Chains A and B, each alone.
Chain A
Amino acid sequence: MMTTTTPTSVDSHRPPLGWFVSDCVAIGKRQIKTFLRSPSTFFFALFQPVLFVLLFSFVFGGAIPIGNGLNYREFLLPGIFAQTVTFAVAAATVGIAEDAQKGIMDRFRTLPVNQASVMVGRSFSEMVERIMVISIMSLTGLVVGWRTHTPWTQVLGGYGIYLLFAYALTWTGLFVGLTVPNVQVAQTAGVAWVFPLTFLSNVFVPTKGMPHFLQVFAEWNPISSVALAGRQQFGNPVVGVGTSWPTQHAALLAVGWSLTLIAVFSTLAVRRFKAKRD
């Protein structure tokens, strides 16, 4: 049989799960370094969140009365958080499409590792960027007068919902990035689905005033659930929600949506990555 050169002493004692974790870490480390050194980071992780918070709170801040003397800015910000977290996912889509267009994906795909680790490692490292986005948004929010009014445990729960949702969207974004033919398409496709989804939601206005079919859509829209859950967790104004099931169970629905998206899109993305053999 093959009397080939011995592979450079591969350490075979570790169990497969151990290898899986260490592969994820190696991929994740690369991702984080790339992220910190890439110029687009400045735009996606710093500029965009600050811009969104400032723009929307000053442009719409005084213009839309939500009644009862409630503070619109405090109503708006948890929605803007959900919207910005969603927009930030475009970075994941563009990033993976860029990698696929370069040769590096090919090298990953010729590695003798469980290929899923390439995607899983990446999904976790993307969260570093999302955490940055959420922190910067919150700080900017505090500057423009947004406050939380609940015990810290509940505030933490609110952030947990945003993070889980961000993770779910990351998988969605990675799948889209693996599906598009090139980076140019990724730049468009990365945000194309985000626009209708964020505007047909309760981010800017209460859903109560919408035409019926839009209202149903907006109430079930995961971004609405996350925004509403955020408002509740932070003790920000909750208005015009009605009595429908999705508005009565916002936090549950937000978590449910996130878990479902994670299950569906992580499976699809990993399968897509492995099966990219045409």
Chain B
Amino acid sequence: MTDSSVVSITAVSKSFGRGTAAIRVLEDVSVEIGRREFFTLLGPSGCGKTTLLRLIAGFETADQGRIAIEGQDVTQTPPYHRPVNTVFQSYALFPHLTVEQNVGFALEEQRLPADKIRTRVGEALEMVRMQSFARRRPAELSGGQQQRVALARALAPRPKVLLLDEPLSALDLKLRKEMQIELKLLQAEAGITFLFVTHDQEEALTLSDRVAVMQGGRILQIGAPHDIYEAPTHRFVADFIGDINLIEAEALPGNTLQLAGGATLSVPHDARGKVTLAIRPERARIAAAGAGHLQARVVHTAYLGTALLHKLALADGGTFLLRQSNLDASPLAMGSSVGVSLPAENLRVLVQ
């Protein structure tokens, strides 16, 4: 555990069910989350994101491994004694309490004096710009407003870590974009570590300092959004985040890769046998027909405003996505034949 890490998860495993019916939901998960970090768990539905969050909150207990918060082992600590708070996906606001009573709930549990509670509730509501709704009940609020109250309620007791389980998924796109920015600002203002869960890769990349990509109960890669996007270490990560082209190839000795079509590339690698090459649509180059590493024909072009996204049919079967800037003088025409060159510095060699 490093000095600055707030949450430290070590070799945690979790199964649901017993005996032969047991399903492994988390497998040997280890993460260190730093102070004031906006850390995101990203992965497809059912990969165990919520389960990991619930383990940290204390709603589930790990079968194996250790969870520490601020250096304190909390593996066996009940949720009400952990210095973390959760923003639930369903908000879970108390329907019988007003907005201010909801926000003050945890402060009352901490037995703070009434005037102190009042000021802290006021501050929390101000942070999410909901002061004027203090006396309303949750049923009298819109979804976005409920979302803010849930945030204020979880922030009011000043947790060491705020856990957010897909807090924006119930909002419409416009509100969602607004809330994303607000969340980011809020985190900077409150100075609290955020552990955020989403299955929306764009959301993860925009908001996070670091992202952990999960699949099937394992963490595949942890890194800054830029690293995850530009330097995926797994085929799954490459495929899950953004558009990417995956090309099968054979690794030959001497830093040479041979494509199925016969073309060879010189790329530094230490792989052997079958590998997958990954390249982003904006990183491949257009070459003259007959030149480059791949031969293809334009079958579809999508106009994206700032760019064109061409769908190419490769000569040896398969498709390839190619992004062409709008600034390019000669846009590719539908049905035309092109060559595609794969700059070695833009290629990732994936073993899995």
- The finding on whether chains A and B are genuine partners in a shared complex, rather than unrelated, reads no
| B contact set with A: CB distance below 8 Å | none
| A contact set with B: CB distance below 8 Å | none
